[in-house]
């Protein structure tokens, strides 16, 4: 994530990538808020009861809870929905790459949160920050590909640390 003198609002136009869900079949897009409403409508009495947390932050749910959970599908074609984020192995579209490079140009520093940066498509942004002589801070459990580039490396869970440092 690039840090800028202009903060990136979680509700502004820059956040379209963060709060959007896309259909893998037809490409239809809906807001994450709209999807949440569908989750609640399909599962009105469902509550998660975790039976433990894995080191990566995943939770263990009883099989009964998983079996009775209903996942919404695309309202246009019935296809599978996914957050409009880049997962490991996904291609990064030019629009998103350009967006990040634009934000790097406006930034005083960058913060890498919860990524090992093992995939070059993410690591190249750390290299671009280094080339611009921007300080790089990393919050992650374990090593990252950019540790040698970092001005600050915090070996911590993002959920535990970020709420106390982000204003």
**One-character DSSP codes across 105-150:** HTEEEEEEES----SHHHHHHHHHHHHTT--EEEE-SS--TTGGG-
Tokens 């709060």 belong to 19
Which residue in 98, 113, 101 sits closest to 144, CA to CA? 113
Structure tokens at 93: 């579209």
Question: Can 19 be counted among the known catalytic residues?
Answer: yes
Say which of 19, 34, 51, 68 is annotated catalytic.
Answer: 19
**Please, which residues bridge with residue 111 across strands?**
137
93 is in an annotated binding site: no
Give me 136's structure tokens.
């790089």
Q: Is 23 annotated as a binding residue?
A: yes
User: Is there a binding annotation on residue 158?
Assistant: no
Binding-site residues from annotation for Zn(2+): 23, 26, 74, 77
Binding-site residues from annotation: 23, 26, 74, 77
Catalytically annotated residues: 19
């Amino acid at each position: 994530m690039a840090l800028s003198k202009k903060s990136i609002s979680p509700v502004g136009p820059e956040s379209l990538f963060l709060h959007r869900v896309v259909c893998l079949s037809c490409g239809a897009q809906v807001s994450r808020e709209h999807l949440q409403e569908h989750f609640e409508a399909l599962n009105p009495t469902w509550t998660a009861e975790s039976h433990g947390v894995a080191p990566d932050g995943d939770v263990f749910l009883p099989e009964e809870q998983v079996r009775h959970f209903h996942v919404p599908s695309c309202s246009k074609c019935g296809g599978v929905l996914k957050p409009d984020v880049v997962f490991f192995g996904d291609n990064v579209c030019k629009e998103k790459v350009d967006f990040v490079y634009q934000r790097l140009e406006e930034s005083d520093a960058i913060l890498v949160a919860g990524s090992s940066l093992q995939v070059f498509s993410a690591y190249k942004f750390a290299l671009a920050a280094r080339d611009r002589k921007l300080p790089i801070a990393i919050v992650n459990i374990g090593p990252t590909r950019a540790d040698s580039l970092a001005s600050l490396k915090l070996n911590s869970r993002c959920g535990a640390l970020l709420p106390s440092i982000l204003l």
